[in-house]
Amino acid sequence: MLFAIDRAGIVGEDGATHAGAFDLSYLQAVPNMLVMAPSDENETCLLLNTGFYAKQPAAVRYPRGQAEGVEITAGFDTVPIGKSKVIKEGANVAILNFGALLHESRIASEAIDATLIDMRFVKPLDQAQLLNVAKSCELIVTVEENALLGGAGSSVALFYQQQGMQVNCLHLGLPDRFIDHGKRPELLSQCGLTGDEMLKRIQACLERSKQSYQRAAFQDK
């Protein structure tokens, strides 16, 4: 069974009652459910195909509004279940993008030369990729257009906790409130989810980590 879920995340002028802010949270709680968040129209085709042919319940969530304008090459192709896609290799910081905020994530990634990964799958997560970035980066940033409570970032944090790993994470997503009616760019800015706002929050997190390290080093002397 395949669920195609329209109006994922912020829906702008449709208003608060139509915002798809909670689907990643509740869908993950369903056993054996495959949960996918494509980043553009071509990825949407790929993941719809993947969900259609999967031998398990599957959900693909995609946003309201204009597409990115990328070329559609998917045809009837599928992708390996639970496999992410590396968009850009960088250093020190890894941005794990879940869904349609890839363009905004790319802006932040390029500004600080961060690794950028299109995660594609919220459930199952690409665990091999999560282990890889945890070993090579000082900060892991998750980005999603879903409530932070119970969302993709929460699952990433839970995975690291279950592995007994102490990983510095910053989770960016929708705040714990109903999102107002308004134009999408303005609402993204209010939620700290434009590329520029992401960059500010990442830099602030890195600065806090640096200060904490300096305090700890001073106390050890």
pLDDT tens digits along 122-154? 999 999 999 999 999 999 999 999 999 999 999
CATH of the domain at 161: 3.40.50.920
What pLDDT is stored for residue 181 in this prediction? 83
What pLDDT is stored for residue 211 in this prediction? 76
Domain hosting 19: range is 2-220
Domain count, the chain: 1
**Short-list 162, 186, 82, CA closest to 128:** 82
Q: Rounded to 5 degrees, what angle do the CA atoms 169, 171, 175 make?
A: 155
What pLDDT is stored for residue 216 in this prediction? 53
Nearest-10 crossing angle of helices 152-162, 127-136: 70
Per-residue CA distances from 2 to 39, 50, 81, 159 (Å): 18, 10, 14, 26
Containing H/E element for 202? helix 195-220
Give the Cα separation of 66 and 144 in Å (integer): 18
Give me Rg for the CA atoms of the chain: 17
**In the chain, which stretches have pLDDT less than 50?**
218
The pTM is what? 0.92
